[in-house]
Structure 1
Amino acid sequence: MSLNAPRSALSSACKALQRCSSGPAHSITRQLGHQIRQLSASPSRNTEAVEASEQQDRPRWSYTPERMKGPGFSINIPKDPRRTVWHCNEDPAKLDAMYNRLLGTNGSNMLPAEIKWLAITHKSFDHGRRGFNTRLAYFGRQILALETMRSILVSPATAAEHSIEDPFGREPFQHPALANIDKLNIRQPQDIAQKEKLAKLAIDIGLPEVIRWKPRLPENLDASGLTVVLNTTLFAIIGAISLQHGAEVAHRVVRDRILRRLGA
């Protein structure tokens, strides 16, 4: 009898717990939890639906994604509040006119709309949240350097190159495959594609009016690095054309539309 008493007490306790777990209190809790989840999920779904419908009406380059926006304030407080105001071009027709001046007639049709805006967007614009042209510029810079070096090697030899003589009267080894290598001792690619020359070309085609960037000193664009930004944008356009149409088209654009204007 002493052993049966604890067993009966344990079984009665288990039955009581089962009745409590399956009672109305538990069902009410489950219903409330289900309603709370529905209420918490419904606003986010509606918000996402509204954002998706609004974004479909606008091109991707014209807005900042909602999920990339910050809390609404910045910890970077400028000394002069006037420097925070800087307006960039948002007119596609003005951008297409610049591409036509650079690439020739119908040059604006060589790139898709999104890539055209990406190529002229510096990383300082909108804190880089709409994409920027750094990677395109790196690729385009290598293409310009390669084509500039090639133009030096295939150019006719100048009188200064023939007048170089060894002070000890030695005769160097001559071979047709090495005939053009010595030209690089006199002229380097950076002598043709200088930063100042490329910046002047960019100004001539109206690139400063369409690039998207945020200068550090709006009252002094040169001190804010305008020359570097213009060079980066030209490199990015070359890189975008190469990725879109291939290396042959990009090299032809560099030769005909850039190096010829630089006097190469």
Structure 2
Amino acid sequence: MASKRPLRSLLSTASSSLRPAQSSKASLVRTSACAFSTTPSSRGPEYDTEAADRPRWQQTPPRMMAPFRIRPQANGGVFKVNEDPKRLDDAYVRMLGPGGDKVLGDEVKWLAVTHKSFDHGRRGFNDRLAYMGRRIVELQTSQALISSPQENQWPRDERGQPLNDDFGRKPYLHPALNGLQGLTDEAEGMVLNKSRLSQIAERYGLDKVTRWKPKRADNLQGSGVETVLMTSLYAIVGAIALERGGEVANKVVQDKILAPLGFTFSSDS
């Protein structure tokens, strides 16, 4: 007849038999963790000397490159963007005059003409510069419209006096109020029309250096080239304001954008 062992003795024996297995399992976990923690990390391609020395505008950051193509091939062929710095400098000289290629730094010059559709935006894009530049252009346009003579829309009699309206009322007219019509959205929209601004950008050669990815390479107009060129024009103004100051940016807007649209400015403006 088997002897009865106390319950405490049985539990002690069972725990002692399980301890080696638990110890070996914990040792395995520690060994694996140690192996992972002591493995030297591999250096990424962006740490290579050749890649590190290349500027941002010239290459896609290696860490941001997709392992496979995430967008289908473009319809209508492949649109080739400019990669020649001299061609870009020529466009800045045509727009800003002699020495225009030295007004902005190299990275900013490329950033100002890079649309967000190019390379999925991985090399930076000009949206923020264009936002600031647009505010400057709109302000200068409003001031130019106020200063320019406006056609009086109110009918007058043969003596030049305003006629009464249908209710017998006569409007109050004053020379200081003649330019108020230029503050309307319609007046500003007619001046800063994307078609007109894109033509100015083409005059300076920005259509040859702006980096973007059209929906169809054989139909740039349908892909929105006018909006893209207008954005580049605004972005250059914004970049000049940040690097050279608002006074220089205002002068560029007056001489290079508004003057070709028909506005005249005095030398001290």
Q: Counterpart in 2 of 1:69?
A: 65
Q: Distance in 2 between matches of 1:245 and 1:66?
A: 32
1:122 is aligned to 115
Equivalent in the alignment of 2:192 = 193
For 1:254, the equivalent position in structure 2 comes to 253
Distance (Å, rounded) in 2 between the aligned partners of 1:195 and 1:55: 38
- Secondary structure at the aligned position of 1:88 is classed as coil
TM-score normalised over the length of structure 2: 0.78
What is the correspondence of 1:86-165 to structure 2 with a 5 Å cutoff?
Answer: 86-155=79-148, 157=149, 160-161=151-152, 164-165=155-156
Residue 54 (structure 2) aligned to one of 58, 61, 69: 58
Change (3 A) 1:219 1:97: same
The question of whether the paired residues in 1 share the 8 Å contact of 2:89 and 2:101 is answered with yes
Aligned equivalents of 2:86, 2:200: Cα separation in 1: 20
Q: Is the 8 A contact 2:130 2:235 kept in 1?
A: yes
Distance 1:163 1:13 in 2: 106
Q: Residue 212 of structure 1: CA displacement?
A: 0.4
Instruction: Please identify, of 161-170 and 60-69, the stretch whose mean Cα deviation from structure 2 is larger.
Output: 161-170
2:26 and 2:70 map into 1 onto residues whose CA distance is 47
Amino acid at match of 2:123: R
Q: 1:91 to 1:238 in 2, by over 3 A?
A: same
Residue 215 (1) aligns with residue 206 (2): no
> 2 CA distance for matches of 1:73 and 1:191?
42
2: CA distance between counterparts of 1:219 and 1:200? 19
List per-residue Cα deviations over 1:145-193 (Å, max 9, x = no partner): 22111011122x36x43985233175533557535324557x8223333
Which amino acid in 2 is paired with 1:126? Answer: D
| C-alpha contact (below 8 Å) 1:161/1:183 kept by paired residues | no
Q: Which structure has more helix as a fraction of its residues?
A: 1
2:31 is equivalent to residue 31 of structure 1: yes
Query: AA paired with 1:172?
Result: P
**Segment drifting more, 165-174 vs 100-109:** 165-174
Deviation (angstroms), 1:4: 7.2
The number of residues matched between the two structures is 251
Which of 153, 168, 171 lines up with 2:164 in the alignment? 168
Please say if residues 193 and 262 of structure 1, whose CA atoms lie closer than 8 Å, have aligned partners that are also in contact.
no
CA contact (8 A) 1:140 1:237 kept: yes
CA separation of 1:162/1:188 partners in 2, compared to 1, >3 Å: closer, same or farther? closer
Residue equivalent to 2:42 = 46
Relative to structure 1, the CA distance from residue 8 to residue 184 in structure 2 (aligned partners, 3 Å threshold; closer, same or farther) is closer
Q: 1:52 to 1:198 in 2, by over 3 A?
A: same
Amino acid in the other structure paired with 2:53: D
| Per-residue deviation, 1:93 | 2.0
Deviations 1:222-264 (A, max 9, x none): 2322222111110111122223333333222101222112221
Provide the C-alpha distance between the structure 2 equivalents of 1:103 and 1:235, rounded to a whole number of angstroms: 14
Which amino acid is the alignment partner of residue 35 of structure 1? A
TM value normalised by structure 1: 0.80
- Going from structure 1 to structure 2, the CA distance change for 1:22 and 1:225 (only over 3 Å counts) comes to closer
Identity of aligned residues (%): 42
In structure 2, give the amino acid aligned to 1:10. Answer: L
Asked whether the equivalents of residues 142 and 182 of structure 2 are also in contact (C-alpha less than 8 Å), the reply is: no
- What's the CA shift for 1:29? 5.6
